[in-house]
Structure 1
């Protein structure tokens, strides 16, 4: 339903419960169908039961049974689609001064150029999530990408401030389809045992994109390239992504694949009684949209631990976008760098995130796999997913304090620049732990829980850049970043509290959760 940046899925996709925990309709542990479908009886089965099309054991059409090479290639394509969207979100950062001069608008309006795109991340999935459940992942990508490309052309040709702001917002709305679908694709092709490793690389894309974009646009600005070419560049990148969608992205949504299987069987046998579960759903599109919009907020209100996790993740996400306003203050004004060199200052963030992914794969995931073996045939309690988040909650305050008190112009730029390394590493480790914890905790309601985090997070990402200039101007770069550090210190105990009291909190939950 709603996009989930590193591993976002649609409303019916993030069900990674083990086989046998509950009866399913697709033969893979998922329970996407809202209305119960009668189980096939061993004696005297009804026509409806006998002609129900499901995935058989080791069915090659089930995405879980596709070859590892194919699934990892598809995950790489999905990650690139997310990179494309998040890259576009901050790409204008390096040419904002050009745009302010050309359109004669203020720095606050310049911040809107970044913020409105991220706001589209919160609005767009409300549309794309339900559509992907009706028509599948591939059609939504095929139709949304040309629309996204159109908004980038619109930005490049914009004659006034109003048009650039409108096209930026619409660009966020249409690119959110990639974010929504990519998370769903990951849940379609990887089961719970492989999810941690799959998400490790996948989680990097939402942070690498916005961190790399200012570097590119900054050097384009230094080279004297018109700000319009920044959007032409994004048009080219989006065009390359569309080619990948057309030629390399198959349909992965299991209910749609079963519908196609049922259609083939009806055609081959001439018997119209064959049917797939999705064909019997009676949930209207508008009802599904209503459920998708209201359910996440109902969970936020009724689940204190979800609210705490959401606020923590949203704060960190907002800070990433706040840096697009803070870095120019520290490096362009403080150290007198041009926009190209200032863009280089972002590099330690994706490098730190990459190190976090490697660290997760070689250290934290093996620890979790030991817990999997110890609790077999059940899944380990969700608290085993929090190991890396404990470290991340300690790393992030260090990164903020580091950046704060090395941002003097008299201090070497290397010091505040390298603060981005623990910031990127801590952010990715935190997200990997908390995303997996939400999924393991809420099971069938995980998509709605993740949707709540995405909506709130996108509002934080859109809102933080709007007050960054005023905050850093009034408090100074030192105390503004110190304020962020203190907030991160206040939030740091959240993973520790969940680790210790998570089982008790889950037992009091009003949502269907994992009580293991």
Structure 2
């Protein structure tokens, strides 16, 4: 239990207050012994080095897990530096190297599994015989790390810190199943609490209209700005969580605390005139606070997929993503149910109080139980402890070593060009460059890569249609079927049913088709195979919307269940399609996955922001039937795009300078 709390925000505070006398790491204990090979290297003794490929092979075959997701070898660094300096690392050489890896994969069953790239690393070792056989026993096969950064004359410059052993408990991928499941559950609850806070406001819109004297479109801004806020936040929080010196936990902890703080004035500063209280705030103030709520709640949208990727292998990551996406998918739909009965009885601000009641305990749980999952951050902090222990600055974290290698390459290129070497880059400058790149890179890839352009546009459309339901339901079920606000909230349970159906379909595909195929072949299939369920599911949104158009228009002559079936079909198929896309993108663009997800969050939320505002006028002016038909016709973009992406995705990857060619 002490090890779990030590890695959390509360653990960091306890260590700071006690000056690291409590909750110590192994390197801070008196009985810690520095690995012998490191001690010999510090003393200037020669240490025989293993071949890099052999070392990776032994790490994989002995344990079936990666020894490190960020290990750096001396040979690869020197080769990278030489290539950068001479410009010999051309695109043609990269294609030849990829072709060579493919031929090796054909000869050796598990080669591709061991070399498959992921979003968390350049060449992350992800599999092996033991992993595919689900070995239950592990041995400490790596008592120390032998990686060194060397110059051509063999002089040691730095010791690159890695995991102490292949089953190092500090590595999130080596955590116990109970701990990983617990973190996944906490992530899902956090996501659900934030996403529910968006649409829980919809039942309060009539009260907002009465209290502030605004029309329906202005009242809907309370929902629209929240959605825009949690689409804008990832542009900042996502790159911050990728900086090794910051990590994921500080971003989560700080923003969640701010989320709770902002929820206080949002819930308490506005009275309800209908219940004898004067309004103590302004409408513009309410809207500003709703935007800030969404902005500070956005890390659950921005980086939670990355946190899951830190803990799960590629075989199991889709199952972890299912839990997180389910919470994000059902959260908005269940919001009107949670406030549908309380708001008519207690007043319109009651929904805002419920946000505070949900957020506060989740915030406390996160501060106490949520550990740091970023391998880059964990290894950087271990490096800092080793420096304090030994008094030597030769220890380098993988993130530092990569940066130094890049600077050395730039210096070598400058010398070859007869120019003075550039000055060292400060940590602040590196962080600033990461932030700028995170803002520009998603837009650049979207404009230059047709596959990503389709993903951004289509996901924005179906997400916007989903949020338009919150404006359409009050025009259908209360007016045509005579339902109360609470009963309309019960109708939203169809989205929960849709989520269950979607989870069952997607998990069956993974468990019964894809994963057995991977284990049988010993290598991962092309990313396009992840789109197979979406080939059929892509027809679902269009069919569901046309069912709504054909049945809701005849209400009350048709039963209320008829349009609800259309919504359920839409939700189930959208869940499957989005799950396929969310796995396809990081496999195809591992180096830019975090930036692309942040960009996708913004595109989806921006379109949803607009759809909330135009949804009600659309359905009022065109009618439910023609309005739903219009959106159904728009959703056919997904049918065409998904099929083209499946058949021509490999060609697009070969032409793209951003994608990985398998």
Q: What residue is the counterpart of 1:33 in the other structure? A: none
Over residues 196-244 of structure 1, what are the superposed CA-to-partner deviations in whole Å (9 max), with x where a residue is unaligned?
Answer: 111122211111000000111111123x112222111111111111112
Contact 2:463 2:604 in 1 (8 A): yes
Out of 537, 543, 548, the residue aligned to residue 403 of structure 1 is 548
Question: Please, which runs of 5 or more residues in structure 2 have no aligned partner?
Answer: 1-68, 71-111, 127-146, 271-280, 404-424
Q: What residue is the counterpart of 2:374 in the other structure? A: 253
Over residues 241-298 of structure 1, what are the superposed CA-to-partner deviations in whole Å (9 max), with x where a residue is unaligned?
Answer: 1112111100111111001211232333343432213346445222211100100000
Q: What residue is the counterpart of 1:265 in the other structure? A: 386
TM-score (norm 2): 0.70
**Cα 1:324–1:343 shift into 2, 3 Å:** same
Is residue 267 of structure 2 the alignment partner of residue 120 of structure 1?
Answer: no
Instruction: Specify the SS of the correspondent of 1:252.
Output: coil
Is residue 332 of structure 2 the alignment partner of residue 210 of structure 1?
Answer: yes
Is residue 290 of structure 2 the alignment partner of residue 168 of structure 1?
Answer: yes
Superposed, 1:420-431 pairs within 5 Å as: 420-431=567-578
Contact 2:226 2:290 in 1 (8 A): yes
CA distance in 2, matches of 1:374, 1:42: 42
CA distance in 2, matches of 1:149, 1:454: 22
Is residue 422 of structure 2 the alignment partner of residue 314 of structure 1?
Answer: no
CA distance in 2, matches of 1:141, 1:342: 34
Out of 345, 356, 364, the residue aligned to residue 502 of structure 2 is 356
Out of 112, 115, 126, the residue aligned to residue 20 of structure 1 is 115
Contact 2:238 2:594 in 1 (8 A): no
Query: How large is the RMSD of aligned CA atoms in angstroms?
Result: 2.4
CA distance in 2, matches of 1:263, 1:123: 34
Question: Following TM superposition, by how much is the alpha carbon of 1:445 offset from its aligned partner in structure 2, in angstroms?
Answer: 2.1
Question: Following TM superposition, by how much is the alpha carbon of 1:65 offset from its aligned partner in structure 2, in angstroms?
Answer: 1.0
Over residues 347-393 of structure 1, what are the superposed CA-to-partner deviations in whole Å (9 max), with x where a residue is unaligned?
Answer: 111221122112222234431113323542x4210111011111210
Contact 1:119 1:458 in 2 (8 A): yes
Farther off after superposition, 444-453 or 425-434? 444-453
**Cα 1:262–1:216 shift into 2, 3 Å:** same
Over residues 415-450 of structure 1, what are the superposed CA-to-partner deviations in whole Å (9 max), with x where a residue is unaligned?
Answer: 112322212211110111111111111121222332
Higher relative contact order (CA 8 A, sep 6+): 1
CA distance in 1, matches of 2:377, 2:499: 35
Contact 1:26 1:254 in 2 (8 A): no
Over residues 39-74 of structure 1, what are the superposed CA-to-partner deviations in whole Å (9 max), with x where a residue is unaligned?
Answer: 65699854434x211124222211111112211211
TM-score (norm 1): 0.90
Instruction: Specify the SS of the correspondent of 1:284.
Output: helix
CA distance in 1, matches of 2:618, 2:590: 40
Q: What residue is the counterpart of 2:137 in the other structure? A: none
Question: Following TM superposition, by how much is the alpha carbon of 1:167 offset from its aligned partner in structure 2, in angstroms?
Answer: 0.1
Question: Following TM superposition, by how much is the alpha carbon of 1:491 offset from its aligned partner in structure 2, in angstroms?
Answer: 2.6
**Cα 1:346–1:243 shift into 2, 3 Å:** same
Instruction: Specify the SS of the correspondent of 1:105.
Output: coil
CA distance in 2, matches of 1:248, 1:338: 40
Q: What residue is the counterpart of 2:215 in the other structure? A: 106
CA distance in 1, matches of 2:154, 2:250: 36
Contact 1:302 1:510 in 2 (8 A): no
CA distance in 1, matches of 2:226, 2:502: 27
Is residue 172 of structure 2 the alignment partner of residue 53 of structure 1?
Answer: no
Superposed, 1:67-466 pairs within 5 Å as: 67-134=176-243, 135-156=246-267, 157-158=269-270, 159-222=281-344, 224-279=345-400, 281=403, 282=425, 284-376=430-522, 378-407=523-552, 408-410=554-556, 411-466=558-613
**Cα 1:293–1:27 shift into 2, 3 Å:** closer
Over residues 69-103 of structure 1, what are the superposed CA-to-partner deviations in whole Å (9 max), with x where a residue is unaligned?
Answer: 21121111111111111111111111110111111
CA distance in 2, matches of 1:301, 1:43: 42
Q: What residue is the counterpart of 2:652 in the other structure? A: 505
Q: What residue is the counterpart of 2:624 in the other structure? A: 477
CA distance in 1, matches of 2:149, 2:514: 36
Question: Following TM superposition, by how much is the alpha carbon of 1:116 offset from its aligned partner in structure 2, in angstroms?
Answer: 0.3
Give 1 or 2 for the bigger CA radius of gyration: 2
CA distance in 1, matches of 2:590, 2:449: 14
**Cα 1:316–1:335 shift into 2, 3 Å:** same
Question: Please, which runs of 5 or more residues in structure 1 have no aligned partner?
Answer: 1-11, 31-37
